[in-house]
């Protein structure tokens, strides 16, 4: 089995998409999925539960230094940045917001790309700011696959459009196509 890691970034309008994607992945999905989603700072509980409802895969908010394991979905905890560490563990941080966000999408993508290189499948979904555009570019720079949700389908197009402006992405896909793609890996 070739190692891969799926990193998904999103903001406003992405929650439905993520739950749909998670509901259509098999229980034995072979790769870890990292979710770097903008979220309300003070809502520390409920988001993971909501995502878990229809997900075939377990969804957790990783603790600092937790191992990255295949077949698990990791949601960046509220008010923390979620880095990928060289030891293939999570490193959390309370450093200043990036692109006004903590968790910052760019940071998960950048560190994920640095560690996993061509094994990364980076996906940017609907969102209202440019967080993640630079991060997706880094995925491309390190040889990974880059996907954006088709702006025509997005509730808010700013995020995927910014990503496409930052780098020539490999695929512009609808939610259905993203699901098919992930299932084909």
Partner 1 sequence: MINNIDEINIGVTDIRRIAELLKSNYNLEINNYALTSMKRRLKKCISINELGNFENLMKKLESPEFFTKFMNDTSIEVTEMFRDPAFWRELKTQIIPDLLKKFNTINVWIPDFSSADEIYSLAILALEDGYHSKINIHATAVHQSLIRPSEIGLYQMKKLEVSEANYKRFNDKGDYNQYYTLEKFGFKMNSNLLSEVKFSTFDIVKDEMPCNYHLIIARNQLLYFNSNMHDNCVTLFSKALVKDGYLAIGTQETIEFCRDSKKFTLINPMEKIYKKNFI
Known catalytic membership, residue 93: no
Residue 65 binds to partner 1 (criterion: CB under 8 A): yes
Binding pattern to partner 1, positions 120-139, x when CB under 8 A?
--------------x---x-
- Compute the least distance from the CB of residue 185 to partner 1, in Å: 26
- Compute the least distance from the CB of residue 177 to partner 1, in Å: 29
Q: Read out DSSP for 31-89?
A: S-EEEEE---TT--SSHHHHHHTT-SS-EE-PPTTPBP-TT-EEEPPTT-EEEEPTTSB
In angstroms, rounded to a whole number, what is the distance separating the alpha carbons of residues 45 and 114?
30
Q: How many CA atoms lie within 13 A of 55 on its CB side?
A: 25
Known catalytic membership, residue 38: yes
Among 24, 85, 171, 174, binds partner 1 (CB under 8 A): 85
Closest CB to partner 1 among residues 17, 75: 75
Which residues in the 38-57 window bind partner 1 by CB under 8 A? Answer: 42, 44-45
> Is 114 within 8 Å of 84 (Cβ atoms)?
yes
Among 73, 110, 163, 178, binds partner 1 (CB under 8 A): 110
Residue 112 binds to partner 1 (criterion: CB under 8 A): no
> Is 160 within 8 Å of 125 (Cβ atoms)?
yes
Residue 141 binds to partner 1 (criterion: CB under 8 A): no
Among 47, 83, 116, 142, binds partner 1 (CB under 8 A): 83
Residue 79 binds to partner 1 (criterion: CB under 8 A): yes
Among 3, 95, 118, 176, binds partner 1 (CB under 8 A): 95
In angstroms, rounded to a whole number, what is the distance separating the alpha carbons of residues 174 and 85?
31
In angstroms, rounded to a whole number, what is the distance separating the alpha carbons of residues 109 and 42?
24
Among 94, 152, 168, 184, binds partner 1 (CB under 8 A): 94
> Is 109 within 8 Å of 141 (Cβ atoms)?
no
Q: Which residues are catalytic?
A: 11, 38, 131
């Amino acid at each position: 089995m070739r190692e891969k890691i799926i990193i998904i970034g999103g903001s406003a309008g992405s929650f439905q998409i993520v739950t749909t994607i998670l509901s259509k992945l098999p229980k034995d999905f072979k790769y870890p999925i990292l979710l770097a989603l903008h979220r309300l700072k003070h809502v520390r509980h409920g988001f993971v539960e909501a995502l878990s409802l229809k997900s075939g895969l377990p969804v957790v908010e990783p603790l600092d230094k937790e191992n990255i394991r295949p077949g698990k979905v990791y949601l960046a905890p509220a008010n923390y940045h979620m880095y990928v560490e060289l030891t293939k563990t999570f490193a959390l941080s309370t450093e200043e917001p990036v692109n006004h966000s903590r968790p910052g999408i760019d940071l998960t993508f950048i560190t994920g790309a640095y560690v996993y290189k061509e094994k990364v499948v980076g996906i940017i979904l609907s969102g209202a700011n440019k967080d993640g555009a630079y991060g997706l570019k880094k995925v491309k720079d390190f040889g990974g696959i880059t996907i954006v949700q088709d702006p025509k389908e997005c509730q808010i197009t700013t995020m995927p459009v910014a990503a496409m402006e930052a780098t020539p992405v490999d695929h512009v896909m609808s939610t259905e196509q993203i699901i098919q793609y992930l299932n084909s890996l």
